[in-house]
Structure 1
Amino acid sequence: MRIFSIFAIMRLPKFWKKIYITAVVRGRQFYKRFRNEFKDVELELYDVNKALHPWFSRFSIFLVLLAFVSLIYSIGFELAYPYDYWNQILDIFIVVGFILVYTGRLVLTSRRLDLVKDRILETVLYLLLLLTTLFYATGEPETLKFVENLLGVPTNYELLVLFTKIYLVLFVIIKLIQASPLLISLQRHPTQVIVGSFLGIILIGSLLLMLPKTTVDGQGLTFVNALFTSTSAVCVTGLIVVDTATHFTLMGQAIILSLIQIGGIGIITFATLFALYISSGLGVGQMTFLKDVISEDRAHETFSTIKKIVGITLFIELLGVIGYYISWTHLLPDAANRLWFSIFHAISAFCNAGFSLFTNSLADEVNTLNWGVNITTILLIIIGGLGFTTLWELVRGNPRKKIQNRQLSLHTKFVIYATAFLIISGTIGFIALEWNQTLDAYGWGEKIMISVFQSVTTRTAGFNTVDIGAMHISTTIMFLTLMAIGASPASTGGGIKTTTITVLLLSVWANIRGKDRVEFSKRTIPYRTVFTALTAFTLAAVGLFVFTFLLTITENLPFIDLLFEEFSAFATVGLSRGITSSLSDWGKVIVTLSMFIGRVGSVTLAVAFAQRDRPKKYRYPEESVIVA
């Protein structure tokens, strides 16, 4: 642009060119004299600004706390007089304080233009609030109308106050996110960060679900029920103590959906992605740390992997929204309501959460026999359960190969083979066991569709198109097996994982055949991987036994129902035989803990708090022990 302007000046006549150059020179001379004359004033302003900066920061933090409290009360509670009156007084104090802080910084700083550029949104909000406050204070409707015509928009004072409070809260959140890469890199163990992040978001979700406006009755959830629901959403389980469709308002459902999305992709992934886009990037230390959090082998691929995870998730969920929206054309004629249902179920299905806005999940006949709903749900669950690493490899090839080709990694082969086997065997088993029971009233095609759906959803998703409590006991045992195995690593699902079971079965087969190593597809599986799989299986078995045992003490319910509930919670599936709402508070706490451990991972939780041994440079003599 500067080159073009120079060329334009060169084309001017000599007279006008002389006037232009003279004006530029004199303007620069005047600016230089002005800066020299007011240099002492700027130095004094700088000293004053430096002295008052801590007070500005403290008062800003105080305003943020007031804005947060006011937001919670105005959004989450139905305020009656005199609470509404005092909340309005609080709003006035927040607005006046916001104007005073910004005015003080603008007056005292010597770099006003930089301040305006760095905080353009805050500047616009400041001007709107200042003008609107002044004209409201004068009570002149003509002048207020003049301002509205000048700005081109109506100056809604209440809306501006709401934006101010939201801005103050979001500004602090953005600052925390910007610091997140540095904060998490100071932690040596990624597992501790994972556990802490899940605990933090679960607690926040619990407090939000306790707000009166989240429930239809205006009472909010009790702490135990809120903790249970928040854990079920963040851990993408789907077990519910109250009906999501009828008990929660739109606000409550939106909170649950947000918790599902964050829990499905991962809190650290979300925070890191936002931090990367609003900060200057990550250092080598942060990259090395985060690669362990997102299961990436190479540190320099961390940012790329995080973008892939979020990008793939949003794209597939969008396709799911379209599928549901088309499938519910006749069931939900209202476009806005249908869009909300489509968004909710697409995210819930892809994240393998199992939450539904229908009271009977998808077991109503209009959904059970809806091919569009069944196919969309099945595809979303399968894709979400494969894992982001596997998905990206299927799209772009094996990233570990220098020459990209369609030869898949051993991990992806395990995931695909195990997933296909479990879906097919589960479908055949369900048809065989339920042919004359829950499937008795349906035709051939409908029986196959329902069986495929239940085989897919049972491993981790939690949706159902038949009554789980009416199934044969043999089917229930088969479902326990499918739930325990679960989805694949680095996915939105839970369970012991398909690759874990595959490695263990290969190890057993190798031992039976007398091999001294575990091999598959011309590859040797490291002993460390075998030990990790054995550890995961053992810890899961111990956890299931302990929590089931505790449930038999606290609950007076049939053992098979308690066993099914515990397996469903620990594997983050969400299917139930109808006893979730009947659990005592202690039972809900036990199931909540099961869901948390199942989602975070028993190995992850153990590693997070276990003291790590340093590698030893010696080895004791071997001695055999009779084990079989």
Structure 2
Amino acid sequence: MKFPYNWKQKWISLLRRWRNFKKDVNLNFHFLQDDIYEIDKVAHPYLRAFSILLSLLVVVSILIPIGFELTPELVYLNSQIEGWILLGFVANFVLRLVLTSDRKTYLKKRWFEGVVSLFSVFLLIDIGISSIGIIDYLSGDAPNAEGVFLQLLKGYLLFVVVVKFLQYLPELLGQQKNTGRFLVYSFLSLIAAGTFLLMLPGATQNGQGLIFIDALFTSTSAVCVTGLIVVDTATHFTLFGELIILTLIQLGGIGIITFATFLFLFISGGLGVGQMNTLRDVVGESNTSLVTATLKRVVGFTFVVEAIGAIGYYVSWDVSFPSHGQRILFSIFHAISAFCNAGFSLFTNSLADGPNATSWAINITTMTLIVLGGLGFTVIWEMIRRRTDRSRWRRRLSIHTRTVLTTTAVLIVAGTLLVLAMEWNHTLADFAWGKKIMVSLFQSITTRTAGFNTIDIGAIGITATLVMLTLMFIGGSPASTAGGIKTTTFAVVMRSIVMTVRGYDKMEMFRRTVPNRVIFRAMTVILLAASCISVSTVLLTLVENHSFMDLFFEEVSAFATVGLTRGITGDLTSWGKFIIVVSMFLGRVGILTFMAAFATKVDTNKYKYPEENIMVS
């Protein structure tokens, strides 16, 4: 079939016009895309700020029903906040969709948010939201489906907040030039968050929350895994308050940065060299390439041991619980508290009540968790690797591991024998000889930063108290959840004294020469720790009306993050509590680490001055 010539000409002209129109549209569209791209770059910081504001509203909306008694005013306020969350979520999604240059890819990647936004629009229309944003919904007769959807939406947004923080973590780590300062700030941030949460009315049984100084004290004690308490953990806190304390203990024990980085590695890829350099000192790994592997082992080992410990507690309790749920809670709480060397207990008298104090299963479970938590992850992993790797160069333990194991064993045995001998006819008089050995062993282990007790610490004689002070001051081992000056510091200084007295001009341990810088560092740690304890004790005597021994014991216990007390913690004044808070914080982050974090760095001198003797006698 042939078309007339003029029709063909018109068709060709129409096609030409269509091509020209498409060309003009594409050109204008590219200009528009460039404009949108420029707008997107300008709007990006504002969108991030909007997302942060939306995240804060989500957190507030979750905390209101948990942390406060729901009065009609609070119910209305929470409904207002939830309405703004809905509107903000939809607006955030639409704005990002409009500003993105590739909407198809954006919708493919964010399809779930698109579906949720669509449902949110339907819900907003259904509840009659006005164009100016006056929101009034979710009253008592609101449909249950709406409430369920809102709870799911808030849970999703909270999950997104966590993911966004984890995605920002590598950038944050890469910006750090001072690992010590970064570590200090992370602990301070966690303490501040815990203080705020413990001040919420829903955290305490009386519905009033803790006052600021008590909340700060409890949060610091939990984050610094100390265990000193100004209120009874067993009776003063609600389940919400107990879970806050448990979370602070866990994050403080293994480190919030360590835990956050573990989650990032779990949901994302690896880290760069800069980030691993920052984490190297945090996880106690000298080899930068092994940082991520070490971090995974630390967190994995922690969770496995705590899970086994919780099972051990669950089958070992001789105490009757109202329900299996409470039995599980007590088991998990004490397993985490014991492994992290925190000393917090959900029993009023810690483990000093009859069924717990004399139970072999409870004592063995607790002591095992304390020792494993106090040895240090480096030592534990080297021992595991030695058992699984039979290569010739792996058979000999490092000097660090041998020093930790030897010193720990000597301190445990010596502490047990001394407490047993000094308290045989005193606090141990009512126990059978087998139980006397068990109780003495428990006190020897728990004194080195764990904080649990199976006898009344205030009733122990002065001589045994001095022994416990020495053990508290020494504490656990490096790269562990324990505090104190550390076993290796004590061993190095003691060995240095012996070698100096015998006339050596260098120090040797296990047929290895220890560098002088290690000796200098160990002596510096001891002198700084002793100075801090001395100054804090003097300050406590100025503001408190208690005996010197009680105050000195309290201060050493705080600085060494032990948590044992002679019964004066709850009677401290606000100034006394603040002094103890500072001591706990310095003891946890390490006073040398704290001072080095804010000290002015200087380059190591490449020259050496002539030597000249100073008379030291």
Same fold (TM over 0.5): yes
Aligned partner of 1:429 in structure 2 is: 418
From 547, 570, 592, the equivalent of 2:581 is 592
Does 1:605 pair with 2:611? no
* Alpha carbons 1:179, 1:275 under 8 Å: kept: no
**CA separation of 1:525/1:117 partners in 2, compared to 1, >3 Å: closer, same or farther?**
farther
Partner Cα distance (2:390, 2:514) in 1: 18
1:549 equivalent among 535, 538, 544:
538
Superposed, 1:217-232 pairs within 5 Å as: 217-232=206-221
User: Structure 1 CA distance, aligned partners of 2:303 and 2:24?
Assistant: 56
8 Å contact kept, 1:484–1:495: yes
Q: Displacement of 1:188 after TM fit?
A: 1.9
Q: Contact (CA 8 Å) 2:478, 2:488: kept in 1 or not?
A: yes
Correspondence for 2:562 among 565, 573, 585: 573
Checking the alignment, whether the CA contact within 8 Å between 1:46 and 1:108 is kept in structure 2 is no
Deviation at 1:130, TM superposition (A): 4.0
Moved more, 329-338 or 80-89: 329-338
1:189-200 equivalent positions in 2, closer than 5 A: 189-200=178-189
- Which range moved further: 318-327 or 90-99? 90-99
Deviation of residue 401 (structure 1)?
A: 10
Alpha carbons of structure 1 residues 117 and 445: separation in structure 2 relative to 1, 3 Å: farther
Partner of 2:449: 460
Distance 1:330 1:580, change over 3 A: closer
Whole-angstrom CA distance in 1 between matches of 2:255 and 2:332: 19
Q: Deviations over 1:397-443 (max 9, x none)?
A: 29999745331110000111111111111111111111111111111
Quick check: 1:398–1:409 contact (8 Å CA) kept in 2? no
Partner of 2:39: 51
Q: 1:529-558: per-residue Cα shift (whole Å, max 9, x none)?
A: 111101101101111111111100010101
1:156 to 142, 145, 150: 145
Instruction: Give the alignment partner of residue 411 of structure 1, picking from 386, 389, 400.
Output: 400
Alpha-carbon separation, structure 2, partners of 1:300 and 1:541:
36
For residues 260-271 of structure 1, what are the structure 2 equivalents within 5 Å?
260-271=249-260
SS of the equivalent of 1:524 reads strand
Q: Give the 5 Å matches for 1:131-530.
A: 131-134=122-125, 156-328=145-317, 331-332=320-321, 334-397=323-386, 403-530=392-519
Whole-Å separation in 2 of the counterparts to 1:580 and 1:421: 31
Structure 1: distance between partners of 2:201 and 2:306? 30
| CA distance in 1 between partners of 2:531 and 2:342 (Å) | 24
Q: Are the aligned partners of 2:451 and 2:563 in contact in 1 as well (CA < 8 Å)?
A: yes
Contact kept, 8 Å, 1:203 with 1:227, in 2: the verdict is yes
Tell me, in whole angstroms, the C-alpha distance in 2 between the residues paired with 1:549 and 1:108: 63
* Partner Cα distance (1:62, 1:608) in 2: 32
Whether contact under 8 Å (1:49, 1:105) holds in the other structure is no
C-alpha distance in structure 1 between counterparts of 2:307 and 2:151, whole Å: 30
State which drifts further: 535-544 or 171-180.
Answer: 171-180
Q: 2:67 aligned with 1:79, yes or no? A: no
Report if the CA contact (8 A) 2:233-2:242 is conserved: yes
Partner of 2:572: 583
5+ residue gaps, structure 2, are 1-21, 130-142
1:467 deviation in Å? 0.4
Q: How big is the shift at 1:282? A: 1.4
Residues 393 and 399 in structure 1, CA contact (< 8 A), matched pair in contact too: no
CA 132–200 in structure 1, closer or farther in 2 if over 3 Å, else same: same
**Whole-angstrom CA distance in 2 between matches of 1:290 and 1:483:** 28
Shift of 1:568: 0.3
| Aligned counterpart in structure 2 of residue 102 of structure 1, from 48, 70, 93 | 93
Percent identity reads 51
Q: Closer, same or farther in 2 for the Cα pair 1:36/1:439, shift >3 Å?
A: farther
Deviation of the 1:159 alpha carbon: 3.4
Is residue 65 of structure 1 aligned with residue 56 of structure 2? yes
Q: Decide whether aligned partners of structure 1 residues 245 and 127 sit closer, same or farther in structure 2, where only a CA change above 3 A counts.
A: farther
Paired AA for residue 603 in structure 2:
R
Seen in structure 2, the aligned counterparts of structure 1 residues 274 and 436 have a Cα distance that, compared at 3 Å, is: same
Indicate the SS of the match to 1:156.
helix
1:12-42 Cα deviation digits (max 9, x unpaired)? xxxxxxxxxxxxxxxxxxxxxx999999669
Deviation at 1:233, TM superposition (A): 0.4
Amino acid at match of 1:474: T
1:160-209 deviations in whole A, cap 9, x for unaligned? 32333344344334323322233233222211111111111111111111
Tell me the secondary structure at the aligned position of residue 462 of structure 1.
coil
**Preserved CA contact (<8 Å) 2:64 2:74:** no
| Alpha-carbon offset, residue 46 of structure 1 | 7.5
Secondary structure, counterpart of 2:72 in structure 1: coil
Q: Distance in 1 between matches of 2:363 and 2:407?
A: 22
C-alpha distance after superposition, 1:561-585 (max 9, x if no partner): 0011001000000000000000000
1:519 partner SS: strand
Show the counterpart of 1:27: none
**TM-score with structure 1 setting the length:** 0.87
CA gap 1:172/1:517 in 2 versus in 1, 3 angstroms? same
Residue identity matched to 2:73: P
- State the alpha-carbon separation in 2 of the partners of residues 35 and 81 from structure 1: 62
Deviation (angstroms), 1:354: 0.1
Q: 1:251 & 1:120 partners in 2: Cα distance? A: 35
Q: Which residue of 1 aligns with 2:81?
A: 90
Deviation at 1:108, TM superposition (A): 6.0
Q: Is the 8 A contact 2:416 2:440 kept in 1?
A: yes
Q: Distance in 1 between matches of 2:274 and 2:244?
A: 34
Partner of 2:451, secondary structure, is: coil
* CA spacing shift, 1:436–1:121, aligned 2, 3 Å: farther
Q: Following TM superposition, by how much is the alpha carbon of 1:469 offset from its aligned partner in structure 2, in angstroms?
A: 0.6
**What is the CA–CA distance in structure 2 between the aligned matches of 1:621 and 1:72, rounded to whole Å?**
66
Length, aligned pairs only: 581
Deviation sequence 1:128-157 (CA, Å, 0-9, x none): 43455555559xxxxxxxxxxxxxxx9632
Let me know the Cα RMSD of the aligned residues: 2.6
2:132 maps to what in 1?
A: none
Q: 1:79 to 1:354 in 2, by over 3 A?
A: same
Please give the alpha-carbon distance, in whole angstroms, between the structure 1 residues aligned to 2:410 and 2:282: 29
CA contact (8 A) 2:37 2:101 kept: no
Structure 2: how far apart are the matches of 1:411 and 1:448? 30
Which secondary structure does the structure 2 equivalent of 1:397 belong to?
A: helix
Decide whether the 8 Å contact of 2:199 with 2:215 is kept in 1. Answer: yes
CA deviation string 1:201-243 (max 9, x = no partner): 1111111111110011111111111111011000000000001
Instruction: After TM superposition, give the deviation of residue 477 of structure 1 in Å.
Output: 0.7
Q: Deviations over 1:329-364 (max 9, x none)?
A: 652262111111111000000000000000000000
8 Å Cα contact 2:318/2:356 also seen in 1:
no
Measured after TM superposition, the shift of residue 64 of structure 1 is 2.6
Unaligned runs of 5+ in 1: 1-33, 139-153
Distance in 1 of aligned mates of 2:462 and 2:558 = 19
Distance 1:404 1:62, change over 3 A: same
TM-score, scaled to structure 2: 0.89
C-alpha change, 1:57 and 1:623, in structure 2 (3 Å) is: closer
CA distance in 1, matches of 2:563, 2:587: 12
